[in-house]
Amino acid sequence: MRIIIHRGADEIGASCVEVAYGTTRILLDAGTSLDGSVTVFPDDINDYSAVIISHGHQDHYGLLESLPESVELYMGDVAWGFLQSLRIFTGQPPLAERSRICLKAERPFKIGEIVVMPYLVDHSAPEAFGFLLSAGGRTIYYSGDFRAHGRKAKTFDYLCDRLPREMDAVLLEGTLINRGNSHFSDESKVEEGIIDAIGKEEGLVCLSCSAQNIDRMVTAFRAAKRSGRVLALDIYSAWILRVAQKLSKNIPDIRWDGIRVLSHNKVALGQYRKIKQNSGFFGDFVRELYHSDNELWEKDIVDSPSRYLLKLSDFGLAHILQKLRKPSTVIYSQWSGYLDHDSSAYNEPAGALKALAGERFYEIHTSGHATKEDLERFVSQILPKTVIPVHTNHKHMFGALFSQTIVLDDGEVFDLAATT
């Protein structure tokens, strides 16, 4: 088997890894960069048999827009739903429906001569997979993005039990290899932190987080409920929870008590228009939004701010805070890099929220990625012959942790047949 990291050998983002055997060539992930630099498929993309997407984050699927129909696409159904939803709500046309093969955990499939086994992993995107690939008596595992401190933390030990020992190579993500996780070591600590912050506030509590981080949305619902508040969502967040219902009926939904949707006034209008323009995609959802049990006006929040934990876009939250004109708490539950003025990832609406909240601004977050200790735990259990860093800004730090590390550059061919 051959491995080529087309992109992502020395970068967090733009993930694109080729695994090939004989004439079968597969791309694992097809992501765009997080720093805005241009990313493209290899020139000979038409010669590949398939693209397999590990999970629904743009740095793993962002190139799909230009994937030729002749190349098979393997992807989770919910990841595809999130991709299409994000495109619609950000004003991009949805991708043309194309033939897709739906990934299911531990349902192996064969592409040419390569057998692929998907394993469910714990990540900040739901329905995230790692892949075990076998051909010609060789075995490779591609970790995708994973961790051991989210709501599916148990999948970490399960995976370690299931994976073969002493396989030929592991392509291992190293997002956190050079830094610790936040002060909140796991999702349950985030829940407690949010409850503490709500407990200190007699007015409105705003929550800034990714709606597609379903673990965090579950945390938001639980924290609101345990604090005696209603979770108020924007239309986009409510829709994303509906898409995620395919994974589990335990994921909160607008049909549940304790959830309302801000479906009127300025914040809602732009999102409502997107739904009207793509009514076939959303089905009956719009009727549910405007059911009296679900709907909410901006005035409801302004009149009774202490009733709500409000989760909107940063832009939407800033609008409500300006309208309310009362001291309010903002819980920032995302990567702190978006708040760093000196970073290319700086997010202006998030910075504005921080300024509006002043002393009542709390950062409460846990990472979507494995800690250095968990990476060590993973490797020490499955004992791969080779560890190849991916999805990291610090690939040269792997060698100090794993003596079997082989560091690749983007585009370099690593041939397992040449190793013993």
Which residues contact Zn ion by CB under 5 A?
57, 145
E strand or H helix that includes residue 199: helix 187-199
User: At closest approach, how far in Å is the CB of 222 from Zn ion?
Assistant: 23
User: Which strand ranges, in their side-by-side order, compose the sheet holding 50-52?
Assistant: 101-102, 72-75, 50-52, 24-28, 16-21, 2-7, 413-415
User: At closest approach, how far in Å is the CB of 144 from Zn ion?
Assistant: 7
Whether the CA torsion 66, 72, 74, 78 is positive or negative: it is positive
User: At closest approach, how far in Å is the CB of 54 from Zn ion?
Assistant: 8
**Measured CA distances, 288 to 61, 275, 309, 402 (Å):** 31, 13, 21, 53
Tell me how far apart the 2 most distant CA atoms of the chain are, in Å: 71
Among the listed residues 170, 175, 88, the one whose alpha carbon sits nearest the alpha carbon of residue 123? 175
Among the listed residues 384, 332, 397, 388, the one whose alpha carbon sits nearest the alpha carbon of residue 358? 332
User: At closest approach, how far in Å is the CB of 301 from Zn ion?
Assistant: 32
Please give the structure tokens belonging to residue 79. 């990841």
What distance in Å separates the CA atoms of residue 48 and residue 50, rounded to the nearest whole number? 6
Residue 22, amino acid? G
CB closer to Zn ion, 126 vs 316: 126
What distance in Å separates the CA atoms of residue 191 and residue 122, rounded to the nearest whole number? 17
CB closer to Zn ion, 118 vs 305: 118
CB closer to Zn ion, 21 vs 141: 141
User: At closest approach, how far in Å is the CB of 99 from Zn ion?
Assistant: 25
User: At closest approach, how far in Å is the CB of 91 from Zn ion?
Assistant: 23
User: At closest approach, how far in Å is the CB of 302 from Zn ion?
Assistant: 36
CB closer to Zn ion, 145 vs 300: 145
CB closer to Zn ion, 57 vs 151: 57
User: At closest approach, how far in Å is the CB of 110 from Zn ion?
Assistant: 26
User: At closest approach, how far in Å is the CB of 58 from Zn ion?
Assistant: 9
CB closer to Zn ion, 6 vs 57: 57
User: At closest approach, how far in Å is the CB of 219 from Zn ion?
Assistant: 18
Place of tokens 């993500």: 173
Place of tokens 């409502």: 272
Among the listed residues 308, 284, 152, 288, the one whose alpha carbon sits nearest the alpha carbon of residue 216? 152
Please give the structure tokens belonging to residue 11. 């970068």
Residue 179 CB partners (closer than 8 Å, separation 6+): none
Please give the structure tokens belonging to residue 31. 């992501």
CB closer to Zn ion, 57 vs 216: 57
User: At closest approach, how far in Å is the CB of 303 from Zn ion?
Assistant: 39
Please give the structure tokens belonging to residue 265. 């006034």
Report yes or no: 164 and 79 within 8 Å, Cβ to Cβ.
Answer: no
Report yes or no: 215 and 146 within 8 Å, Cβ to Cβ.
Answer: no
CB closer to Zn ion, 15 vs 313: 15
Residue 227 CB partners (closer than 8 Å, separation 6+): 195, 198, 199, 309
CB closer to Zn ion, 134 vs 367: 367
CB closer to Zn ion, 21 vs 74: 74
CB closer to Zn ion, 12 vs 204: 12
